[in-house]
Amino acid sequence: MGQGGLTSVALLIAEELDVEWAKVQCVFADANRHVRNNKEYIVMSAHGSQLVRLQHPHLMQAGASARERLKEAAAQAWGVQRSAVVALQGVLTSGNRTGTYAEFATAASKIKLDKEPAIKTPDQWTLLGKPKQRMDIPHKVDGSAQYSIDTRIPGMVYAAVKASPAPWGTLKSYNFDAIKNHPSVIAAVELKAVPGKRGQPDMQNAIAVVADS
């Protein structure tokens, strides 16, 4: 979600996957899926300008792993060693045989590698470090970009949160009776810090007022 994050993640994966940059599209990961599937993603937080500098190894590894699985799928189909298959710009080649990534994608999804491939070193990069227009620029310029505040779903409610101005301060009191008869107010929910948990993403003591507008 950070500045340029959509583009940098795509570049990190495309660098290893070896695909045509002009054909790359990005879709935001689903935060609900992460929560419902017991933290499915390695990292799903936004803080500290950490994306590229800390997350690039596993993102590049994903691209490298997919590339090698595609090569292995083609190798098995063609009866050759994976080392004899070249993956370049979305196309797999071995001798006079050729096929697109799409042709081998289903078979590749079932491949298990003996070990994961090493990621490229900077001197091997063809995309990273080169000037590329950010993917989100057109959407932000033409007004089609959808932000969280633009979301509307049936039965949607809203919450406004008030926390202590002092980090890890306690909640002394709140008076829900003063607003509970307001026609739009649904509930007040107390948020409680977990004792001993004081990391950047951890919950602090606060009160949330939930309403239908």
3-state secondary structure (DSSP) of residue 107: helix
pLDDT-based confidence at 58, cuts 50/70/90? very high
The DSSP bridge partners found for residue 208 are 161, 189
Please give the Cα distance from 206 to 170 (Å, whole number).
8
- Which parts of 90-154 fold into alpha helices (H)? 101-108, 137-142
Out of 142, 175, 193, a domain closes at 142
One domain for residues 33 and 133: yes
Same domain for 106 and 71, yes or no, is yes
Mean pLDDT of 1-21: 92
What average pLDDT score do residues 168-186 get?
Answer: 94
- The answer to whether residues 96 and 23 belong to one domain is yes
Q: Are residues 106 and 168 in the same domain?
A: no
In this structure, is residue 174 part of a structural domain? yes
Is residue 147 in a domain?
Answer: no
Do 118 and 189 have their domain in common?
A: no
Q: Which one of 142, 161, 191 terminates a domain?
A: 142
- Do 48 and 123 belong together in one domain? yes
Instruction: Out of 123, 142, 161, pick the residue that ends a domain.
Output: 142
> Cα–chain-centroid distance for residue 79?
36
**Cα angle 136, 140, 145; round to 5:** 85
Residue 45 has a CB neighbour count (10 Å cut-off) of 11
Both 76 and 176 in a single domain? no
Task: Tell me: do 121 and 33 sit in the same domain.
Answer: yes
Instruction: Kindly give the interhelix angle for 101-108 and 51-78, rounded to the nearest 10 degrees.
Output: 90
Do residue 114 and residue 24 come from a single domain? yes
- 134 located within any domain: yes
What is the CB-side half-sphere exposure of residue 120 using CA atoms within 13 A? 21
Query: Per this entry, what is the length of the chain?
Result: 213
Neighbours of 198 (CB within 10 A): 11
Give the type of residue at 39: K
Question: Does some domain include residue 183?
Answer: yes
| Partner residues linked to 191 by β-bridges | 206
CA distances from 182 to 145, 186, 206 (A): 34, 9, 21
Whether 13 and 103 map to the same domain: the answer is yes
CA distance linking residue 49 with residue 79, whole number of Å: 46
Q: Please report, for the domain that includes residue 27, its CATH number.
A: 3.30.365.10
9 found inside a domain = yes
Q: Which domain holds residue 13?
A: 5-142
Q: Give per-residue pLDDT as tens, 182-212.
A: 999 999 999 999 999 998 778 899 999 999 9
Sorted by sequence, the CB contacts under 8 Å of residue 182 that are 6+ apart come out as 211
Q: How many domains does the chain have?
A: 2
Q: Quick: pLDDT tens for 108-144.
A: 999 999 999 999 999 999 999 999 999 989 988 999 9
* 92 and 110 in a common domain: yes
Looking at residue 114, its pLDDT comes to 94
**Two tokens at 65?**
């792993």
